[in-house]
Chains A and B, each alone.
Chain A
């Protein structure tokens, strides 16, 4: 009988040149797999302006990185990927800095509340379950709404003589005080609105350990009424700061940031992000939203499926480092 140690050892001996040892994760992984992962997630972030953390973290765990290291290192990788994404969008004039900073102010305040809730849930146990349920609900609702809206928009384009949708509806939200002009986004709305949205997203991103791009993007499009072209760059701008904050906090409290892993992912990520940005420019807004809705719904379906299907092994083990 061949033990798994031997098999792993033999497999390692066969292609040892491609493997890299990650000092914090304490495992060896194939460099090409990591580069490919980085590139795929980078591509998504370039196209949609979502950080891709909600995809990267589960994928890293799947290939053998300890969960705590996966969460913290993807945040580190996000910083770099978002910087190069913002630079690319900025050169095309697609970043609304004013809007980004206002959202960020709300986001940082929200993340403090989020960290507090996270600690509370951890003490009560079941943090993992809470995260999964939050993900499924958020992704399901957002993905569903976006799907319905984008399909309607796509159909409207093909129907001749259809009326053009207004840029955004006027509701009670627009009656709030502290009105400010966001020139790039061609909006004149209350600053309280983006601050509030940033705050709520800050809470969720702290609990879920993500940049919040996939919540931020639909919120910007549907709640603020920002033009789709400005959304990815502005969202990424905000993600830089949120991810940097998470990285430093994780490094300081848990020692789980694997800088080597993050760098390898980044090399693949920046290439993917550049290609993604160009690809995204060729798509129309509703096509972009339809594709993002598809991805978001697919992730939600996968998570919901995993929660209800009996796991292969009912037992799981963890050392104190997770």
Chain B
């Protein structure tokens, strides 16, 4: 089974502290900020919302890492539905399309998307279309279809759409995009929990876990929590060394290989 790192900060935190954590993690979604703003300083009716936290704020990638999961849990101030969205750091991705040239399949077209989340998972207590209006889904960028992917390659929108759906398909196959409807479980009316699973190829970086409280097809409250995915131990050391001292790392890799080759031939000597 995966490791679940239980840290001390497991219990629900006061809402005011959450603004700080957003600030530190450079939340890019203004919508979340607005939701929080409404949550903290809005009218009394909106100040009610939810409190949530993760069992761990660190996914530690060690040598035996085969994927991991964290549990998100919390409480709402009353009936309502909960949507949880997890976003990894953005990265640039290029999608290429092959076509046949003289009997051979060749990459002929490509579209580059500048800001593809390296990981995106969404879970909700009920199907999204039943609990949230399309306008709100779009505004809060909830769901894979509502991600703002900007094509940095000039191309007709029909072409971009086709490339975008190919990108979504591949990311889903790699386990990096997922939509898990009905995976937020309520214990009674107010307590909820869900498990966020990360595959072994999970990209490293600072993730944002956004939790939304939904009533009458609209977002009425929300909270954002950071989650760090990081290499630790030997793997982190090897990785950092390879980036900071690339020439030295290469030389050591070669020397290690030579030593290994030499050592491996020793037991056979004279045999």
- A residues contacting B by CB (< 8 A) are 3-9, 12-13, 16-17, 19-21, 23-24, 26-28, 64, 76-77, 79-85, 87-88, 91, 125-126, 128-129, 240, 244, 247-253, 255, 257, 259-260, 262-263, 266-267, 270-271, 274, 307-311, 313-320
Q: A317 to B167, Cβ gap below 8 A?
A: yes
Q: B105 to A28, Cβ gap below 8 A?
A: no
Contacting residues of chain B (125-175) with chain A, CB-CB under 8 angstroms:
163, 166-167, 169-175
Smallest CB-CB separation from A315: which chain B residue?
B166
- B residues contacting A by CB (< 8 A) are 1-2, 61-67, 69, 91-100, 103-107, 118, 121, 163, 166-167, 169-176, 178-180, 197-201, 203-204, 231, 234-236, 238-239, 242-243, 246-247, 249-254, 256-258, 260-262, 264-265, 268-269
Q: B105 to A317, Cβ gap below 8 A?
A: no
Q: B63 to A76, Cβ gap below 8 A?
A: no
Residues of chain A contacted by B268 (CB below 8 angstroms): 88, 274
Interchain CA distance A88-B270 in the complex, whole Å:
11
- 13 additional contacts (CB under 8 A) given A8-B67, A316-B170: A6-B178, A13-B1, A21-B62, A28-B200, A79-B254, A84-B262, A247-B253, A257-B242, A266-B261, A274-B265, A308-B104, A315-B163, A317-B96
Residues of chain B contacted by A319 (CB below 8 angstroms): 91-94, 118
Q: B104 to A129, Cβ gap below 8 A?
A: yes
Given contacts A3-B178, A26-B203, A247-B253, contact A255 B197 (CB under 8 A): no
Q: A19 to B167, Cβ gap below 8 A?
A: no
Given contacts A16-B66, A28-B66, A129-B106, contact A248 B264 (CB under 8 A): no
Q: B104 to A5, Cβ gap below 8 A?
A: no
Smallest CB-CB separation from B91: which chain A residue?
A319
Interchain CA distance A7-B63 in the complex, whole Å:
21
Task: Determine which residue in A7, A248, A260, A309 has the highest number of CB atoms from chain B within 10 A of its CB, and name it.
Answer: A248
Closest chain-B Cβ to A149's Cβ sits at a distance in Å of 30
Q: B253 to A311, Cβ gap below 8 A?
A: no
Q: A315 to B106, Cβ gap below 8 A?
A: no
Q: A251 to B249, Cβ gap below 8 A?
A: yes
Smallest CB-CB separation from A77: which chain B residue?
B257
Given contacts A13-B2, A27-B200, A317-B93, contact A20 B257 (CB under 8 A): no
Interchain CA distance A13-B258 in the complex, whole Å:
35
Interchain CA distance A88-B174 in the complex, whole Å:
42
Closest chain-B Cβ to A253's Cβ sits at a distance in Å of 8
Smallest CB-CB separation from B174: which chain A residue?
A4
Given contacts A257-B242, A262-B257, A317-B170, contact A8 B107 (CB under 8 A): no
Q: B261 to A320, Cβ gap below 8 A?
A: no
Smallest CB-CB separation from B259: which chain A residue?
A80
Q: B254 to A87, Cβ gap below 8 A?
A: no
Q: A314 to B97, Cβ gap below 8 A?
A: yes
Q: A28 to B167, Cβ gap below 8 A?
A: no
Interchain CA distance A64-B173 in the complex, whole Å:
13
Interchain CA distance A72-B95 in the complex, whole Å:
23
